[in-house]
Amino acid sequence: MTMNDVDNNSSHIHYSPTARYSVGWRHEYFRDSTAHADTAQINYLAKRWNGNQSQANIYIKTGAGLAYDESDVSPAVFGGIAADWETRRYFTSYQNRFFYADDIEKNAQHRTRLGIAPYIGDTGDLHTWMMLQADYDAGMDDNFSLTPLVRFFKGSHLMEAGYNLDNGVLFNYVHRF
């Protein structure tokens, strides 16, 4: 999957041996500090609630690797929690991420999303979501930003596109295989 948001661009590839966890690799570029990081990541599904037409999850995400810029290299670690609740019509999520790589890059991010599906499609149809994402980044000059976005979802492909007046384009793509 590839992601581009208020502060960084990232690419991820993950493998899920079971529904409980995934392991993978992540490369990211922090636009403010012009630093890069390559990290191994584990996502663990700590708890899931399966409702009649709903699902809620809590994930723990953590990783470690190296961060580097033009002149320096440093070990990097990060961790955070993600939670979501969704039905086929409504979506809400919250996640945080705390990243530390000494003087190269440090950040503490919080993100929440609210979404609604204007129509409910059948299995295999093109699914569309309208979402609003709110970000808070303690390390940025503009701590708070809002990004309206649209999500398209068909089969094993998911794409999100949005525009934030302060930070530009948001684009995410996930391919599940």
Partner 1 sequence: MRYILTLFAFLILSTHVFAAEVVTVRIKGMVCDFCAQSVTKVYMKNDDVQNVSVDLDTQTITLNMKDGAIISDDEVKKGVHYAGYDFVDLERTDNE
CA distance 97 to 111: 9
Q: How far apart are alpha carbons 126 and 87 in whole angstroms?
A: 16
> Least distance (Å) from partner 1 to the CB of residue 65?
27
- Minimum CB distance to partner 1 smaller for 69 or for 84: 84
Gap between the Cα atoms of 146 and 136, Å rounded: 9
**How near is the Cβ of 79 to partner 1 at its closest, in Å?**
23
Residues that bind partner 1 (CB under 8 A): 18-20, 45, 48-55, 86-88, 122-124, 127, 153-156, 158, 176
Give 18 or 71: the residue with its C-beta nearer to partner 1: 18
Q: Which is nearer to partner 1, 51 or 75 (CB)?
A: 51
Residues 6+ apart with CB under 8 A from 34: 69, 70
Residue 52: CB minimum distance to partner 1, A: 6
Q: Considering beta carbons, is residue 60 or 77 the nearer one to partner 1? A: 60
Secondary structure, 3-state, 88-100: CCEEEEEEEEEEE
